[in-house]
Amino acid sequence: RVPLIKNGKIPESIKTREKENEAARLYEWATNFINSNNITCTVVERENSKNSENLIYTTDALMFKDTAHIIFSDKLDKKILEGKTFDPNNYEMQTEYSKKAYAVQNSLLAREYYKKGINYQLREVKPGIKEVVLVGQGTGRLLNGRRLGSGLHEAIEAKEAAIGKNKIPKYDVPIKKQSVTVATCTYPDLLSMYKSGISGMTGTSNSKEFIDVYGMPTYEVPSRKTNIRKDLDDELYLTKEAKYKAIIKEILNAQKNLQPVLIGTTSVEESEIISKLLSEEGIRHQLLNAVRDENEAGIISNAGQLGKVTVATNMAGRGTDIKLGKGAEEAGGLYVIGTSRNNSKRVDNQLRGRAGRQGDPGKTKYFTSLEDDLVVLRGSDKLKEALQTLGKTDLPIQNKVIKSQVDRCQAAQEAEDQVARISSEKYGSVLSQQKNQIYNQRNKILESKSILPLLKDMISDYTDSLMETKDIDEIKAKLGHLVNIDGIEFKKYDELKQEIMNTLSKKLIQASSSKDYEENTKDKMIDVIDSYWIEHLDYLTESKMNAGFYALAQKNPLDEYKFNAYKRFEEITPYIQNELITYSLMPEKQFGEYEIKETLLFEDEKVSRR
């Protein structure tokens, strides 16, 4: 669901219009605002839950866990406005409210949705200073250097900094400067760049999705040896506590004949819980997760040794062949235990595949509970009603109807994720077309032996498009800093165009004689293109996030996104050309010094360049 993203520092030209530590101050304010005003946020499992509309009258905000969507109550809006009446015609008030409301929303998400040990970890940088490091939800690995966008990472840092002030010993979590997305593409877009084609191998493929998303057929390769692994039926429990007790009991039984056991968990938090319970029972084991990931390959490769117990998150054993040690085969081979179902059956099968490799014996079993996140988020109202008839019990649930509901929860999540991937590709195709145009322009500049022919063509094209407006005021606004328009006598616009072209051509020849012209001009031209592209990516991200509002207005979100994306791209293109021409004709100007006099207008919103 997540496209390939490259983050970078905010370019100097954008920094000049922002206060240096604006994000840090804003999220420090939002965190303090929430804490000092005791802002309440009620968490609702699903956005379509019954009575969620009534809950908004008893709390400051509602957060829907399945969508991470937050809505404010009227009283929270009033607190943000500090008792003032919102005036939609007051641009300054509107801007200030939007900024603060967005920060409060992110700060509530940081508090209610993003949990330490599940979504991120704190890592000590130096004594008294820590940093927030994201945890990959699919692998359990630390995602070094990666940051959440749209201010979410800053909100988490502000939350942890506030917590650190009250800890003994105290520690600080500095709010780092915001990074920006400088490049992004989807996986299908990346793979399509391999002109000679691609190939791959997996043991858990989704043949239909390979065709639908990648347009690639799949073929089954028979196993070299017969798979004799036993995949046991799942055990379902009412509570997590009962489930964990059953897992520990199962591990103790396996230990009686020293059968090696690999326990796969869906989060760092759950791996720590299992590890703690094993320690309480005196069971020696090795723990492998995002916090403790030293010698990963060594730990996993030894998981098949006689009597070994290994606890690991989903990253366990990917690419590592677990070979059975002496006597382990006679003990039944590797026993893989899953502590809860993953969002995808494919990931479940990846964990199962750690056992019974190369014809070895082994067995697998999943333990689930009706308190697991997947079941809570995707469980139907009928399932919740059925739970009330069970009463409190630590025994496994045998009701086939209830057990089948867990499979339905996973199927529902898989279907939603598949729709999201296909939808992401449809949105991504719009971005890919524009990205290719931008990158082609960049490549022409970088690969040209001389940029003069490119600039001459650009000057000609830009002047042609500008003359089509036949608006003398706009022509002056766009080219008045390069050509004295008032000093040109003309009766027809063709005469004006020719005179402007002659003047710009002479200026280009004069400018090109300056020292290191080619290198300096290319650098500034690339900076111009990149700065506009970065802002365009921000616009597309925001437009995609707001796509749901179009659905409420009975409009197709994808069609509206495409329209806005193409409209915006067409509007910024002449502004890019204007800056490229300006810096090429005025080599003494540094990047960021030039400002276009006119402001861009998008969707009735003024977006000022620099």
> The domain that contains 15 carries what CATH number?
3.90.1440.10
Q: What is the distance between the alpha carbons of residues 157 and 474, in angstroms, rounded to a whole number?
A: 46
Same domain? 194 vs 169: no
CB-based contact 51:32 (threshold 8 Å): no
Residue 610 in this model has a pLDDT that exceeds 60: no
Determine the pLDDT at residue 294: 61
Task: Over range 183-189, report the average pLDDT.
Answer: 78
Amino acid at 303: A
CATH number for 521:
1.10.3060.10
The DSSP H or E segment spanning 226 is none
Determine the pLDDT at residue 278: 95
- 264: phi then psi, degrees, rounded to nearest 5: -100, 130
The DSSP H or E segment spanning 424 is helix 400-447
For 311, the token pair is 């606890």
CB-based contact 203:352 (threshold 8 Å): no
Task: Over range 346-375, report the average pLDDT.
Answer: 89
**Exposure string (b/e) for 327-366, b if CB count within 10 Å is 16 or more?**
ebeebbbbbbbbbbbbbbbebbebbbbbbbbeebbbbbbb
Same domain? 268 vs 390: yes
For 397, the token pair is 């649930």
Domain final position from 368, 400, 432: 400
Task: Over range 418-439, report the average pLDDT.
Answer: 82
Q: How many CB atoms lie within 10 A of CB 87?
A: 12
Same domain? 181 vs 193: no
- 479: phi then psi, degrees, rounded to nearest 5: -125, 0
Task: Over range 204-214, report the average pLDDT.
Answer: 74
Same domain? 487 vs 572: yes
Select the more confidently predicted residue: 503 or 425: 503
Residue 419 within a domain: no
Residue 216 in this model has a pLDDT that exceeds 50: yes
Q: What is the distance between the alpha carbons of residues 115 and 153, in angstroms, rounded to a whole number?
A: 12
Residue 435 within a domain: no
Residue 431 within a domain: no
Quick one: CA torsion of 180, 183, 185, 187, rounded to 10 degrees? -90
Q: What is the pLDDT of residues 289-307, one digit of tens each?
A: 766 656 666 777 788 899 9
- 280: phi then psi, degrees, rounded to nearest 5: -65, -30
Same domain? 498 vs 381: no
Residue 598 in this model has a pLDDT that exceeds 50: no
Domain final position from 199, 221, 243: 221
Same domain? 181 vs 207: no
Residue 198 within a domain: yes
Select the more confidently predicted residue: 187 or 138: 187
CB-based contact 525:583 (threshold 8 Å): yes
Quick one: CA torsion of 93, 95, 98, 99, rounded to 10 degrees? -110
Q: Whole domain around residue 487: which residue ranges?
A: 445-585
Say if strands 261-265 and 309-313 run parallel, antiparallel, or are unpaired: parallel
Q: Which pLDDT band holds residue 319 (cuts at 50, 70, 90)?
A: low
Residue 67 within a domain: yes
What's the mean pLDDT when you consider all of the chain? Answer: 83
**Angle at CA 229, nearest 5°, toward 228 and 233?**
130
For 55, the token pair is 């809950």
First-to-last alpha carbon distance for the chain, in angstroms, is 33
Same domain? 383 vs 525: no
- E-strand spans in 33-128? 41-44, 61-64, 69-72, 120-126
Task: Over range 219-226, report the average pLDDT.
Answer: 86
Determine the pLDDT at residue 229: 94
Task: Name which of 341, 284, 280 is nearest 311 in CA terms.
Answer: 284
Same domain? 138 vs 237: no
Determine the pLDDT at residue 254: 95
Q: What is the distance between the alpha carbons of residues 312 and 294, in angstroms, rounded to a whole number?
A: 12
Residue 89 within a domain: yes
Task: Name which of 156, 144, 182, 145 is nearest 24 in CA terms.
Answer: 156
Residue 334 in this model has a pLDDT that exceeds 90: yes
Max avg pLDDT among 273-282, 337-346, 389-398, 412-421: 273-282
pTM over the 0.85 mark:
no
Determine the pLDDT at residue 16: 42
Count: domains in the chain: 4
Determine the pLDDT at residue 317: 54
Same domain? 375 vs 238: yes
Q: What is the distance between the alpha carbons of residues 251 and 261, in angstroms, rounded to a whole number?
A: 7
For 345, the token pair is 């059956």
Max avg pLDDT among 49-58, 241-250, 496-505, 549-558: 241-250
268-280 and 240-255 helices cross at what angle (nearest 10)?
Answer: 60
CB-based contact 238:397 (threshold 8 Å): yes
Q: Is the omega angle on the peptide bond into residue 169 within 30 degrees of 0, that is, cis?
A: yes
Same domain? 108 vs 235: no
Q: What is the distance between the alpha carbons of residues 393 and 399, in angstroms, rounded to a whole number?
A: 13
Q: Which pLDDT band holds residue 234 (cuts at 50, 70, 90)?
A: very high
Q: What is the distance between the alpha carbons of residues 75 and 67, in angstroms, rounded to a whole number?
A: 23
Task: Name which of 259, 253, 488 is nearest 360 in CA terms.
Answer: 259
Same domain? 67 vs 105: yes
Same domain? 113 vs 75: yes
CB-based contact 583:524 (threshold 8 Å): yes
Residue 210 within a domain: yes
Q: What is the distance between the alpha carbons of residues 374 and 391, in angstroms, rounded to a whole number?
A: 21
- 121: phi then psi, degrees, rounded to nearest 5: -130, 155
Determine the pLDDT at residue 49: 58
Domain final position from 221, 245, 269: 221
CB-based contact 509:464 (threshold 8 Å): no
R_g over Cα of the chain: 30
HEC secondary structure over 306-375? CCCEEEEECCCCCCCCCCCCCCCCCCCCEEEEECCCCCCHHHHHHHHCCCCHHHCCEEEEEEEECCCHHH
CATH number for 348:
3.40.50.300
Determine the pLDDT at residue 98: 82
Q: What is the pLDDT of residues 481-514, one digit of tens each?
A: 888 888 777 767 788 888 888 899 999 999 998 8
Determine the pLDDT at residue 607: 41
Please, where are the H alpha helices in 448-492? 452-467, 472-479
Residue 71 within a domain: yes
CA torsion sign, 45 to 51 to 56 to 59? negative
